Amino acid sequence: MTLENMTAQTESKGPSIRDFFKRWPTFYYLVEIVFGHTLLLGMNPKDFLRKYAAEGEVINVGSGPRRLGPEVKNVDKFQYEGVDILSDIEDMQPFGDASVARIVCDNVLEHLPHPYKAVSELKRILKPGGFLYISTPFYYPFHPSPSDFTRWTKEGLLQLFEEFEVMEVGVRSGPFSSLTVTLSYLFATVFSFGNDFLYWFLLDASMFLFFPIKFLDVFVNRLPHAANMAAVLYLVVKKR
């Protein structure tokens, strides 16, 4: 089976319930924050934009419908409402070399078939002295949107961005978020009895059953070894 066929098959089984509710971004992200599988405690994109200032254009790549602020341009390969520029992150033709001051790439890299090409493009368009925010899952199950390819450890992220100056790296969602999402996937796997539609339905529905567990991350997110089982890691780098 070719990669194209596998991707198409994955997309046909993907979480269409989530895609449907993305038509109402405010409602969708509110539900995601409260009842979603992960508790996002570490640095988020808005924290990054407040902390790391740089003069020039700011973009959010793989943005979906979410708007981070009036000064941030949304970039996505899909025409969600609120997307300003259509572009594939692996080939960002609308942007010239060293043309962007700050970039947000929030839980996007794992969905790309060629993430090293994407990192090369992000480096190309970022100005010297510009800042890049990355978050990506580590201890997290398969989640197609529309596909899902890769995971990085903390050390793997540092290696992926070794040509940049690292400003900070840390845990965005900790070990109890990993446990919450694992229980939801296990629940859906066992009780869907192999039915694809039921599997994806139970996966989304089960978060309302297990979501309280994630709040224990409040107590463990900053522990020294939390990154070894973190659901989501984040990284801030500066172009040399």
The domain locations on the chain are: 3-238
- pLDDT at site 204: 87
- pLDDT at site 199: 95
- pLDDT at site 57: 98
Handedness of CA 35, 78, 121, 111 (dihedral sign): positive
- pLDDT at site 238: 98
What crossing angle do the helices spanning 3-13 and 196-205 adopt, rounded to 10°? 60
Helix, strand or coil for residue 9? helix
Q: Which residues pair with 236 in a beta bridge?
A: 133, 168
Element spanning 75, H or E:
strand 72-76
Q: Which CATH superfamily is domain 3-238 in?
A: Vaccinia Virus protein VP39 (3.40.50.150)
Q: Give the separation between CA 101 and CA 60, rounded to whole angstroms.
A: 12
- pLDDT at site 17: 57
Contact in structure between 134 and 235 (CB atoms under 8 Å) = yes
Q: Which residues pair with 168 in a beta bridge?
A: 236
Q: What is the pTM for the complete model shown? A: 0.88
Q: How far is CA 22 from CA 42, 52, 64, 158, in A?
A: 24, 29, 8, 32
Q: How far is CA 87 from CA 106, 175, 239, in A?
A: 16, 34, 22
**What pLDDT tens digit does each residue of the chain (240 aa) get?**
333 333 334 444 444 556 666 666 677 777 778 888 999 999 999 999 999 999 999 999 999 988 999 999 999 999 988 999 999 999 999 999 999 999 999 999 999 999 999 999 999 999 999 999 999 999 999 998 889 999 999 999 999 999 999 999 999 999 999 999 999 999 999 999 999 999 999 998 999 999 999 999 999 999 999 999 999 999 999 999
- pLDDT at site 2: 36
Number of H helices, E strands in the chain: 10, 7
